[in-house]
Amino acid sequence: MDADTNPHPGDAAIGPVPHGYRYFQRSIPLAHAFVPDDPALDRAFERARAMLRAWGPQIGAGMRVEVALADGILPAPEVGLQGRLTARVAGVIPLRAPFRIIAADFEEADRAGYAYETLPGHPELGRESFYVTRTAGLVEFTVTAFSKPAVWYSRLGGPVTRIIQNRYTNKYLLAMAIRPR
């Protein structure tokens, strides 16, 4: 199947990339098998799905997820949910990033994930998705995004801003790779 008729679910979730935005997609395998029906693939996929429902990439990257809590429990990502991610740049500078969930897909047999768009106050303007997919012999986690600077300090930061984005993408990927096995 070609990519134009069957896009990655992360691409479909964030939609078309507007002109002038930086796009990237990075993946990491979570499980491989020589036999497509190896039960280890199912276990890895279900663990990854559960991690996504529990904000595993963000929490594993050291971020705090702030949303309206129901009975003190962090809700799973769902369309329309708004919140804020808080990270510490260089371990000390708090960075707050408001978002709204625009896609949440946890019921499909071979894919699970969500996407959010940034809201005013986020240092970047754009969308980002976090999806786990299962194909014959492979379970893979993918981060897909497009963005451009939204505030003066991210515009001024230029290459440093990209380094920070890449660092957090690496943290998301590693957080998911360490746990699903």
Helix ranges restricted to H, the chain: 9-14, 39-53, 56-60, 152-157, 159-178
pTM for this predicted structure: 0.90
Q: Where are the domains of the chain?
A: 25-178
Architecture of domain 25-178: 2-Layer Sandwich (3.30)
* Tokens 């590693």 -> residue: 174
How many angstroms from the chain centroid is the CA of residue 82? 15
Regions of the chain where pLDDT drops below 50: 1-3, 181
| C-alpha–C-alpha distance, residues 4 and 23, integer Å | 16
The whole-number pLDDT of residue 71 equals 77
Q: Among residues 35, 4, 12, 164, which one has the least CA distance to residue 102? A: 12
Quote the tokens at residue 179.
């746990």
pLDDT for 5 equals: 61
For residue 162, the model assigns a pLDDT of 80
b/e sequence 85-114, b meaning 16+ C-beta within 10 Å: bebeeeeeeebebbbebbbbbeeeeebbbb
pLDDT at 181: 46
pLDDT reported for residue 6: 67
Distance of CA 154 to the CA centre of its chain: 20
Q: 3-state DSSP call for residue 135?
A: strand
Residue showing tokens 């993408």: 169
> What is the structure's pLDDT at 95?
84
